[in-house]
């Protein structure tokens, strides 16, 4: 029997609203927002970015997960993996008895028609959806509308004979799901992560090259059967929704210019399409932090969010370009006025730094958080800073 799919929640929004508020809201954050995003306590001033924290897609996904638990109290409820990239939220869901298919011992093949599976905000691959459908589970689809918009563009590219070049992280669930849409609609894809990989693609577009070396480089990032000779002649550009906007624009421009160089301005116009698929929430958070850095005299920046959260890492990159920046996963990373656990910008590992907060005198701290970070964590971080500076 095919799966029953809920895509618009379970009509229990009001029933879970109190629980969500208890778990994720913060009175101090609400107060700071009302007071022009500024907070003062003794020698400490905190400047909050004007857009931060839960985006509309995450808000909805977490809401639907709570509704699911409420609606099916006696059935096994699963997530395909992390619902969003925030350890605190994922742990809360575990605490409600929601199981993770990525955990040891769990497998899709063991699921049956009585099981309920929540699909995350960044979507799942076509293959996983088909697998779940075969098991006949009840599905709660929380895929964000902005991700669906990327898929729409990628499908259109595929149907029009364009190879999708996706500016994204090939290891990220959203990009894997997006890439699978291209294949499902008969197209090809290639994922590029940064300028260096874009340069390899541009070189091939302009001059051709060693096909095997090219495919070896993109072995995990290219669709099966991709032939760069044939499949880079018509290109459609898309982005993972949470990339750095400025970088995505540069990637697009580099590829467009390579197509112009290879085919001439007139011919290349029909061979290259681009749609900005960075979501508005990501864009708003990036714009807000740029404005904060420009307008406020902050001595250092704290960025709160999961280390595997793409949009949080990009907020930290923006901050790190002009200020000492500490990307922390949660408030407990603020160990003391002398010690902080954080992941340095561009690094893959957490480290502990000392002497991060000036021991005396006025201190101005800029604060923002990723789209998957609840306000209560921001509030707790502010409480710790207050304690350290008192």
Judged by the rule CB under 6 A, the positions of this chain that interact with ligand SF4 are 55-58, 121, 144, 146-147, 241-242, 279, 281-282, 311, 371
Phi, psi of 60 (to 5 degrees): -70, -45
Smallest gap from Cβ 223 to ligand SF4, in A, equals: 22
Residue 353 burial (C-beta neighbours within 10 Å; 0-12, 13-18, 19+): middle
Smallest gap from Cβ 212 to ligand SF4, in A, equals: 36
> Which C-beta is closer to ligand SF4: that of 55 or that of 301?
55
Smallest gap from Cβ 187 to ligand SF4, in A, equals: 21
Name the residue with the smallest CB distance to ligand SF4.
57
> Which C-beta is closer to ligand SF4: that of 140 or that of 226?
140
Q: Which 3 state secondary structure label does DSSP give 4?
A: strand
Helical ranges in 219-364 per DSSP H: 228-231, 245-269, 280-295, 310-320
Q: How many CA atoms lie within 13 A of 23 on its CB side?
A: 18
> Which C-beta is closer to ligand SF4: that of 68 or that of 268?
68
Smallest gap from Cβ 30 to ligand SF4, in A, equals: 21
Smallest gap from Cβ 147 to ligand SF4, in A, equals: 5
Residue 293 burial (C-beta neighbours within 10 Å; 0-12, 13-18, 19+): buried
Helical ranges in the chain per DSSP H: 13-24, 27-34, 56-71, 87-95, 126-135, 145-159, 173-184, 195-207, 211-217, 228-231, 245-269, 280-295, 310-320, 375-389
Q: Which two tokens stand for residue 97?
A: 């008895």
Residues 134/135/137/142 CA torsion (nearest 10 deg): -60
CA pair distance 239, 12, nearest whole angstrom: 33
CA pair distance 158, 368, nearest whole angstrom: 38
Smallest gap from Cβ 176 to ligand SF4, in A, equals: 14
Residues 264/269/270/272 CA torsion (nearest 10 deg): 100
- Please say whether the beta carbons of 311 and 370 come within 8 A: yes
> Which C-beta is closer to ligand SF4: that of 68 or that of 146?
146
Phi, psi of 227 (to 5 degrees): -115, 110
> Which C-beta is closer to ligand SF4: that of 55 or that of 298?
55
> Which C-beta is closer to ligand SF4: that of 68 or that of 241?
241
> Which C-beta is closer to ligand SF4: that of 56 or that of 100?
56
Smallest gap from Cβ 58 to ligand SF4, in A, equals: 5
Catalytic sites, residue numbers:
174
Query: For 98-107, which contacts have Cβ atoms below 8 Å and span 24 or more sequence positions?
Result: 98/65, 98/68, 98/69, 106/78
The string over 143-158, giving b where at least 16 C-beta atoms fall within 10 Å of a residue's C-beta and e elsewhere, is bbebbeebbebbbbbb
Smallest gap from Cβ 280 to ligand SF4, in A, equals: 7
> Which C-beta is closer to ligand SF4: that of 280 or that of 351?
280
Of 276, 283, 302, 297, residue with least CA distance to 368: 302
């Amino acid at each position: 029997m095919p799966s029953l799919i809920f895509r618009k929640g379970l009509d229990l929004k009001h029933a879970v609203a109190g629980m969500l508020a208890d778990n994720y809201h913060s009175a101090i954050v609400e107060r700071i927002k009302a007071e022009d995003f500024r907070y003062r306590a003794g020698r400490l001033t905190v400047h909050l970015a004007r857009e931060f924290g839960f985006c509309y897609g995450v808000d909805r996904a977490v809401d639907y997960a709570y509704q699911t638990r409420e609606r099916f109290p006696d059935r096994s409820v699963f997530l395909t993996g992390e619902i969003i990239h925030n350890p605190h939220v994922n742990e809360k869901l575990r605490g409600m008895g929601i199981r993770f298919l990525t955990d040891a011992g769990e497998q899709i093949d063991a699921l049956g028609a009585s099981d309920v599976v929540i699909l995350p905000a960044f979507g799942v691959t076509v293959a996983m959806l088909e697998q779940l459908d075969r098991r006949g589970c009840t599905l709660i689809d929380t895929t964000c509308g902005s991700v669906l918009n990327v898929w729409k563009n990628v499908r259109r590219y595929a149907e029009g004979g364009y190879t999708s070049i996706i500016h994204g992280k090939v290891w990220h669930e959203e990009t894997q799901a997006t890439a699978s849409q291209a294949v499902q609609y008969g197209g090809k894809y290639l994922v590029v992560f940064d300028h260096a990989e874009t340069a390899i693609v541009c070189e091939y577009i302009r001059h051709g090259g060693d096909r095997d070396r090219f495919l070896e480089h993109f072995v995990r990032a290219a669709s099966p059967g991709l032939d760069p000779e044939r499949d880079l002649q018509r290109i459609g550009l898309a982005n993972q929704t949470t990339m750095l906007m400025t970088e995505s624009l540069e990637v697009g421009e580099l590829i467009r210019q390579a197509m112009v160089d290879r085919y001439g301005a007139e011919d290349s116009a029909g061979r290259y399409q681009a749609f900005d698929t960075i979501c508005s929430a990501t864009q708003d958070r990036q714009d807000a932090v740029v404005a904060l850095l420009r307008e406020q005299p902050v001595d250092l920046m704290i960025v709160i969010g999961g280390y595997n959260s793409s949009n949080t890492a990009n907020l930290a990159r923006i901050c790190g370009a002009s200020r000492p920046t500490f990307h922390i996963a949660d408030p407990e990373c603020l160990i003391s006025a002398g010690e902080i656990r954080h992941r340095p910008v561009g690094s893959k590992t957490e480290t502990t730094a000392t002497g991060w907060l000036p021991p005396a005198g006025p201190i101005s701290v800029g604060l923002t958080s990723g789209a998957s970070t609840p306000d209560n964590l921001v509030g707790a971080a502010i409480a710790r800073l207050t304690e350290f500076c008192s």
